[in-house]
Amino acid sequence: MLDTQPEEGYTTADGRKIGGVAMEMRNITLRFGGVTAIKDISFDIRWGEVRAIIGPNGAGKSSMLNVISGFYNPQEGEIIYKGYRRPRMRPYQVARTGIARTFQNIALFEGMSVLDNIMTGRLNHMKANIFQQALWWGTAQREEEENREKVEKVIDFLEIQHIRKTPVARLPYGLKKRVELARALAAEPSILLLDEPMAGMNVEEKEDMCRFILDVNDEFATTIVLIEHDMGVVMDLSDRVVVMDYGKKIGDGTPDEVRNNEEVIKAYLGVTDD
Amino acid sequence: MSDTLLFALEAAANGLTAGVMYALVALGFVLIFKASGIFNFSQGVMALFAALTLVGLQSGQIPFSHLINAIFGTRLHYFGWSLPTLVAIAGTVLVMVAFAWLVERYIFRHLVNQEPIILFMATIGLAYFLEGFGDLMWGAEVKRLDVGIPQGMSLAVDEATFNWFGYGFYMDTLELWAALIAAILVAGLVIFSQYTKQGRALRAVADDHQAALSVGISLRFIWVMVWTLAGIVALVAGMMWGAKSGVQFSLSLIALKALPVLILGGFTSIPGAIVGGLIIGVGEKLFDFFMGPLIGGATENWFAYMLALVFLLFRPQGLFGEKIIERV
């Protein structure tokens, strides 16, 4: 792997602390019938870093993210999370281990308000039983207040106070993406997975989103794994980058290392249709 | 006040209590449809099955006694004890929970991501299976169900209305109780879905499966939960209709009365089911009162369906349903 960085973490140029290995993917292979979406890929994710997965269309980036979040189960390979081999899990079980995600084609609860959407992110932090909740009694009341407080913090942080009560269906695309991020953040995840957080945004929205991603990573020390098309954005945001092409890993390292990698240049320039 | 107005008021009041019962049946449909997109054809049979189980437990009937007798030549029928109503209701709730679990485990788990029409067909199969199974388990004869609610004319209503208007309304005590219990159940369901974690999860699943998974909601748990809720709603409906007209297999046809309610209220709206039920209940009584004599009576049988047809023409999404927008 990377021998340029010490095993037990380091401090980045801008003063953020990167820890040891949070998650390690070992020889992951994923097939759909006869099609192999991911071929024998290994890489690791460290605590506190922004890890990007890039590659041309159909390279298997989203499949990789779906493997991490449990939406797909790989046929081969293993995932080591927090030091233990993760057994086969369903997506909701993975979510409960502290892995939150957003989707490429926004998956929000369209019928609910922004606030309600974000509150669903707190579902796994609610312990009161159903009778206490229905009667608004004891633990339930304290919990609901705590959760509301956390949610309000996230709302402030992402600057969406003005749309708190708005039904999500009425929001423009850029704000929907932000609400989806807010819902994922409300879960206080250990690892946050972002599937093309900036796809389809205009320049201004992209800049906002970049700022939020960096702030989240900086202030909450959240480990972030993101998929992005826009090379410029990726290079600015991330600490380390995995490059995929046709389901294989063709590069792994700091943005600078990757930028100068022969195979990466070939994949990107060779595949684009100019 | 003129007599006609008083009679109309009486008819409307009776319509309200009937409407609450319609709403109750429709609610069972809405719960399952909202959470899983399944139009549950077996809702009516579930009401029948729940009522059969309740009577069976209450009177200490031996399940499958006809089958056992036919095979072994025995003459078993009753255990010889009878359970208090509340215990029998609790037992029936447990049976409905088991039913919900079995339905998820053995039918719908295998039909994930199938077309709605296939899921619908599965519930038709389930309806026929459950009808036969209920028959086999508890016997096909008409049973009397007594849950301790008095029947007959309500003297309190008669007296109160007589004092106000000088004319006593005729209302059935059982129907008043049924309306009250249904109202409590509906209020409970609304509180549950709006203010509890499970209710929030239920609404989340109803809205987007993928997003629900990503925030840690187990779809299977939610499905078992909604089928259980629908089972409990079915139990209450079966209990009330059963107490009124006996537990018999025609009970499963009350589901048909719920269809116009759903078309009026929208398939996905809990308040819609309630308001729809009330409109149909009151509407059919008033229509019969005013128009019945002019066209030879018996309008109650078809009024609801006619109203539903009108709605299908002018507002197919119902009063409260999600608006159908076609993007081009």
**Mean of the pLDDT values across residues A58-66?**
91
Residue B236 lies in a domain: yes
- Quick check: A128 and B200 CB within 8 A? no
A107 with B208: Cβ contact below 8 A: yes
The DSSP letter of residue A187 is T
pLDDT at residue A239 is higher than 90: yes
Which of A3-17, B135-149, B282-296 is least confident?
A: A3-17
Q: What is the pLDDT of residue B327?
A: 56
Report the C-alpha gap between B194 and B203 in whole angstroms.
9
Does B272 score more than 80 pLDDT?
yes
Contacts of A98 in chain B (CB under 8 A): none
Kindly report the backbone phi and psi dihedral angles of residue B179, in degrees, each rounded to the nearest multiple of 5, phi listed first.
-65, -40
**Residue A268 · residue A57 · CB < 8 Å:** no
Q: What is the mean pLDDT of residues A171-177?
A: 90
List the single residue in B with minimal CA-CA distance to A122: B215
Do residues B60 and B259 make contact, with C-beta atoms less than 8 angstroms apart?
no
Cite the residue boundaries of each domain of chain A with CATH code 3.40.50.300: 13-98+189-271
Per-residue confidence band for B319, with pLDDT thresholds at 50, 70 and 90: confident
Q: What is the pLDDT of residue A4?
A: 46
Please tell me which residue, A243 or B77, carries the higher pLDDT value: A243
Q: How far is B200 from chain A (nearest CA, A)?
A: 7
Asked whether the predicted pLDDT for residue A161 surpasses 50, the reply is: yes
C-alpha to C-alpha distances, A135 to A121, A139, A236, B186, nearest whole angstrom: 22, 11, 50, 16
User: Beta strand A17-18 with A50-54: parallel, antiparallel or unpaired?
Assistant: unpaired
- CA nearest to B65, candidates B138, B152, B141: B138
What pLDDT is attached to residue B253? 80
Instruction: Tell me which range, A196-200, B125-129, B136-140, B321-325, is most confidently predicted by mean pLDDT.
Output: B125-129
pTM comes to 0.81
pLDDT of residue A1: 42
Q: Cβ distance B150 to B171 under 8 Å?
A: no
Alpha carbons B185 and B179: distance in angstroms, whole number: 10
pLDDT beyond 50 at A219: yes
Tell me what pLDDT residue A2 has.
44
**A-B Cβ pairs (cutoff 8 Å, strict):** 85
Q: Rounded mean pLDDT of chain B?
A: 87
Is A109 in CB contact (< 8 Å) with chain B? yes
State the pLDDT at residue A142: 81
**Nearest alpha-carbon partner for B215 in A261, A178, A249, A94:** A94
Q: Does B192 touch chain A (CB under 8 A)?
A: yes
B39 near B28, Cβ under 8 Å? no
Q: Which domain holds residue B242?
A: 29-255
**A111–B203 CB contact, under 8 Å:** yes
Of B195, B197, B202, B325, which to mutate for an interface test with A (greatest number of A Cβ within 10 Å)?
B197
For the segment B202-259, what is each residue's pLDDT rounded down to a tens digit?
888 888 888 999 999 998 899 899 999 999 999 998 998 888 888 888 888 877 888 8
The reported pLDDT for the residue numbered A145 is: 85
Beta bridge partners of A79: A25
Residue B1: its pLDDT value, please?
61
pLDDT confidence of B3, banded at 50, 70, 90?
A: confident
A42 has a pLDDT exceeding 90: yes
Beta strands in chain B (DSSP E): none
Beta strands A76-81 and A21-32: pairing type? antiparallel
Radius of gyration of chain A (CA): 19
Residue B178, pLDDT > 60, answer yes
CB A77 within 8 A of CB A25: yes
- CB contact (8 A) between residue B219 and residue A92: yes
Tell me the pLDDT band of B269, cut-offs 50, 70 and 90.
confident
Helix (H) or strand (E) holding A244: strand A240-245
> Mean pLDDT throughout B46-65?
91
CB contact under 8 A, A90 and B213: yes
What ipTM was assigned to the predicted interfaces of this complex? 0.83
Cα nearest neighbour of B189 on chain A: A134
CB B240, CB B178: distance < 8 Å: yes
Please list every residue in chain B whose beta carbon sits closer than 8 Å to the beta carbon of residue A101. Answer: 214
Q: Which residues, in sequence order, are CB contacts of B283 under 8 Å at separation 6+? A: B15, B303, B304, B307
Mean pLDDT of A213-234: 88
Per residue in A83-125, pLDDT (tens digit) is 899 999 999 999 999 999 999 888 999 888 999 999 999 988 8
Domain count, chain B: 1
* Closest to B48 measured CA to CA, from B305, B256, B311: B256
- Nearest CB among B195, B207, B216 relative to A95 is that of B216
Computed on alpha carbons and rounded to an integer, the radius of gyration of chain B in Å comes to 21
Judged by a CB distance cut-off of 8 A, whether residue A100 touches chain B is: yes
For the segment A3-39, what is each residue's pLDDT rounded down to a tens digit? 445 566 788 877 788 888 999 999 999 999 889 999 9
Least CB-CB distance to A92: which of B191, B195, B218?
A: B218
Q: At what angle do helices B3-36 and B254-265 cross, to 10 degrees?
A: 90
* pLDDT given at position B100: 95
| Pairing assessment for the beta strands A17-18 and A84-85 based on DSSP bridges | unpaired
C-beta atoms of A109 and B211 within 8 A: yes
pLDDT of A190: 93
Residue B284, Cα to own-chain centre: how many angstroms?
19
The band of A274, judged by pLDDT with boundaries at 50, 70 and 90, is very low
Write down the pLDDT at residue A270: 62
In DSSP notation, B7-18 reads HHHHHHHHHHHH
Of the residues B113, B190, B215, the best mutation for testing chain A's interface (the one with the most A CB atoms within 10 Å of its CB) is B215
Contact B196 A100 (CB under 8 A): no
| C-alpha dist (Å) from residue A238 to A209, A233, B219, B312 | 14, 9, 34, 55
Residues 195-254 of chain B with CB under 8 A from chain A are 195-198, 200-201, 203-204, 206-208, 210-219
Asked if residue B294 is part of any domain, the answer here is no
Q: Let me know if residue B317 belongs to a domain.
A: no
The number of angstroms, rounded, from the C-alpha of B61 to the middle of its chain's C-alpha atoms is 25
With contact defined as beta carbons under 8 Å apart, do B70 and B269 qualify?
Answer: no
Residue B20 pLDDT greater than 90, yes or no:
no
- Residue B132 buriedness (CB in 10 A; 0-12 / 13-18 / 19+): exposed
pLDDT at position B45 is 93
Smallest CA–CA distance, residue B289 to chain A, in Å, is: 40
What backbone torsions phi and psi does residue A141 show, to the nearest 5 degrees?
-65, -45
pLDDT tens readout for residues B35-52 = 778 889 899 999 999 999
CB half-sphere exposure, A229, CA atoms < 13 A: 12
Mean pLDDT computed over A53-77: 92
The answer to whether A123 contacts B215, with C-beta atoms less than 8 Å apart, is yes
A111 contacts on B by Cβ (under 8 Å): 203, 206-207, 322
Tell me if A108 and B217 make a contact (CB, 8 A cut-off): no
DSSP A3-71: -SS-TT-EE-TTSPEE-SEEEEEEEEEEEETTEEEEEEEEEEEETT-EEEEE-STTSSHHHHHHHHTTS
Q: Determine which helix (DSSP H) or strand (DSSP E) holds A100, and give its type and residue range.
A: strand A99-101
Distances (CA, A) of B244 to A155, B51, B58, B186, B218: 53, 12, 17, 20, 39
The residue written with tokens 């009584």 in the block is B285
For helices B300-314 and B254-265, give the axis angle rounded to 10 degrees: 30
Check residue A129 and give its pLDDT.
67
B301 falls within a domain? no
d(CA A227, CA B10) in angstroms, rounded, equals 67
The pLDDT of A244-273, averaged and rounded, is 82
Architecture of the CATH domain A13-98+189-271: 3-Layer(aba) Sandwich (3.40)
List the structure tokens of B279.
Answer: 């409109």
Check CB contact of A142 with chain B, cutoff 8 Å: no
Residue of B nearest to A96 (CA): B216
User: What per-residue confidence (pLDDT) applies to B324?
Assistant: 61
| pLDDT one-digit tens code per residue, A133-158 | 666 667 777 888 888 899 999 999 99
φ, ψ (nearest 5 deg) of residue B76: -80, 140
